[in-house]
Copies of this chain bind each other. A is one copy, B any other.
Amino acid sequence: MNLENTKAQMRKGILEYCILALLSDKEAYASELIQTLKEARLLVVEGTIYPLLTRLKNDGLLNYRWEESTGGPPRKYYMITPLGKDFLKELAKTWVQLTQSVQKVTQTNQ
C-alpha cells in the first residue's frame, strides 16, 4: 500500500471530467492541457493524456483540427462536441453527488 499509488487511483476517472470541462471553455492541444492541469496541481503526463484524448474523440465527445505551429510540429487542437457537452453535464452531476457521498461517509470521524 503506497500513498502515491492511491493518489493515482483517486485521480482515475476524474481526468475525463476535467478535460471535457477545460475544452468546453476553449479548444486546446495536448501539451497545453497538460500545462493547465499541472497548474491546478493535477499531475498528468503525455502517456496518459494522448490515449485519453483519442478515446474521447473516438467516442464522439471531442473533435480536432490540425493547426500549423510557429515552432515545432503541427498541433492537434481538440474541441468539445454537442455530445461531449451532454456527457460533461452528466459527469458534473456525478461528481457533485460523489463528493457529497464522500462527505457524508467521512464527516463522522476526526
Count class of interface residues, chain A: 35 or more
Cross-chain contact B92 with A1 (CB below 8 angstroms):
no
Number of this chain's copies in the complex:
2
Among candidates B10, B97, B108, residue contacting A17 with C-beta atoms closer than 8 Å: B10
Cβ of A89 to closest chain B Cβ, rounded Å:
9
Cross-chain contact B6 with A101 (CB below 8 angstroms):
no
**Least CB separation from A91: chain B residue:** B6
Please name all residues of chain B whose beta carbon is closer than 8 Å to the beta carbon of A99 when the two chains form the complex: 99
Please name all residues of chain B whose beta carbon is closer than 8 Å to the beta carbon of A9 when the two chains form the complex: 12-13, 16
Using a CB–CB cutoff of 8 Å, the interface residues on chain A facing chain B are 1, 3, 6-14, 16-18, 21-22, 24-25, 36-37, 40-42, 55-56, 59-61, 87, 90-92, 94-95, 97-102, 104-106, 108-110
